[in-house]
Amino acid sequence: MKNKQKICILGSTGSIGVSTLDVISNHLDRYQVFALTAHSQVHKLAAQCVQFRPEVVVVGSATAAAELQIILREKKLHIEIMYGPQALCEVASATKCDVVMAAIVGAAGLPSSLAAARAGKKVLLANKEALVMSGQLFIDAIHENGATLLPIDSEHNAIFQCLPRHYNRCPQEHGIHKIILTASGGPFLSRNLASLDNVTPAEAVAHPNWVMGRKISVDSATMMNKGLEVIEAHWLFNTPAEQIEVLIHPQSVIHSMVSYLDGSVLAQLGNPDMRTPIAYGLAYPERIDSGVAPLDLTKVMQLNFQAPDFKRFPCLELAYSALKIGQSAPTILNASNEVAVQAFLDGKIGFRMIDQIIARVMDRLPTSEVDDMAEIFECDQKTRELTNSMIALVAA
Ligand code: NAD
Ligand code: MG
């Protein structure tokens, strides 16, 4: 029997974190949980500790740590408790850890994902914002430190499966014509455009096919999620924006495709359940049972496709232009989106204001070269301040 792989799950209480633990729970002969992290959901984290017995856990604050300590003591569990952003980096780069599932949402996940890359870990990347923000610097950290990067985002996982096994990051050398990212179109694909001004956060997070965290659900409703994924695909597979196409496919059965010069199109299909890409990432290059039911195409019956409408989904266009502008533009796009989405979820701005605010921020902030991570974080911070001041004006 091989040694068990020791896993650190950054963001274990989130949607991806919970799905990861579900897959692991069926393969305890292969995997052992080394560390779990959560921002504030102490009770949920405590329940995960009871089931998976990690060596160490990280929470967001000293208060949360104290609360967790009381619960774990009652349960007679001896687990090291740490807190704060630096602790996330420590567990992600710990010598004892083999695999890191990077599933924190947003820019908050970048330092720990990067720490895992710099420590040469096998990094299962769900946290797309980290890659969108830091692009080439993140990819360089992976390569320079002998880390392995496996995409967990379902589209990128699908593309990874449809690419040649020894893909050398030169699409032309492999005869690749383009990458086709499928998109469900979210809950507002066919809703009357004028009525989008008045949609509520509850309507926006009600995704037709996937159960996900609130931020990515709003991103799916604006299609910024697909925009971020276009940028993510660019960095993961080294393909230019012109070779990445978005195709609306409301059933979410085809998770993405690679089109080759000879006319072949390879696709990966499956039920829309994140446990499939998670299991693929965990076991790669082997395959394990993910717990997902086999796809029954007779039940699906129809697979539909349409081109995306940039007027309905301006965020998609904003993301393409950020990728084409390059430099710090994707960092600005990502930070202004995070702040605007949170303001929408908090009831401060309407749904249609999300894209308008991002567009104004992108117009106002000049882009510049980003040579190191300090510059990325500085740009992220500056963008957040400007976006917040614009929101304050709108909300006044
Ligand atoms: P979620 O909101 O359900 O969970 C987020 C997790 O991050 C939680 O465990 C939370 O405790 C933690 N977290 C939040 N803020 C934090 C902070 N400031 N510091 C430390 N930890 C913090 O989100 P999710 O849907 O699981 O998504 C996680 C990531 O995976 C996102 O980047 C998302 O884009 C990506 N992703 C998710 C899905 C999906 O199906 N849910 C699919 C593809 C990609
Ligand atoms: Mg996705």
Interval 15-43: pLDDT, tens: 999 999 999 999 999 999 999 999 999 99
- Whether 47 is in a domain gets the answer yes
Q: Which ligand is nearest to the CA of 226?
A: 2
In-domain check, residue 383: yes
With the most atoms of ligand 1 within 8 angstroms of its CB, the residue from 88, 155, 216 to mutate is 216
Element (H, E) at 58: strand 56-59
**CB 127 near ligand 1, within 6 Å:** yes
SS3 at position 260: strand
Which of 106, 128, 151 delimits the end of a domain?
151
Q: Is the beta carbon of 103 within 6 A of some atom in ligand 1?
A: yes
How far is it, in rounded angstroms, from Cα 386 to Cα 363?
11
**Cα–Cα nearest to 105, from 128, 135, 71:** 128
Q: Is residue 364 in a domain?
A: yes
235 exposure class (CB count in 10 Å sphere: 0-12, 13-18, 19+): buried
Q: Does some domain include residue 96?
A: yes
Distance CA 300, CA 285 (A): 29
Q: In this predicted model, what pLDDT tens digit does every residue of 273-303 receive, in sequence order? A: 999 999 999 999 999 999 999 999 999 989 9
Q: Is 229 in the pocket of ligand 1 (CB under 6 A)?
A: no
Question: What CA–CA distance (Å, rounded) separates 53 from 33?
Answer: 7
What is the residue-averaged pLDDT of the chain? 97
User: Does residue 334's CB lie within 6 angstroms of at least one atom of ligand 1?
Assistant: no
Q: What is the mean pLDDT of residues 94-123?
A: 98
The reply to whether 43 falls in a domain is: yes
Which of 101, 118, 151 terminates a domain? The answer is 151
Question: In Å, how far are 144, 246, 293, 390 from 393, measured between CA atoms?
Answer: 44, 34, 49, 5
pLDDT digits (tens, 9 = 90+) for 251-266: 999 999 999 999 999 9
Q: Closest-lying ligand to the alpha carbon of 18?
A: 1
In a domain, 74, yes or no: yes
CATH of the domain at 133: 3.40.50.720
Provide the domain limits for residue 353.
326-396
Q: Is the CB of 223 under 6 A from ligand 1?
A: no
- Give me the percent of the chain exceeding a pLDDT of 90: 96
Bin 291: left if φ > 0, else alpha if -120 < ψ < 50, else beta: left
**CATH number of the domain residue 379 falls in:** 1.10.1740.10
In a domain, 299, yes or no: no
Question: Per residue in 5-21, pLDDT tens?
Answer: 999 999 999 999 999 99
Identify the band that residue 67 occupies on the pLDDT scale cut at 50, 70 and 90: very high
Indicate whether residue 84 lines ligand 1 (CB < 6 A): no
Which of 131, 151, 171 delimits the end of a domain?
Answer: 151
Q: How far is the CA of 47 from the centre of ligand 1 (A)?
A: 18
Asked, for residue 342, whether it belongs to a domain, the answer is yes
| pTM above threshold 0.85 | yes
How many distinct structural domains can be found in the chain?
Answer: 2
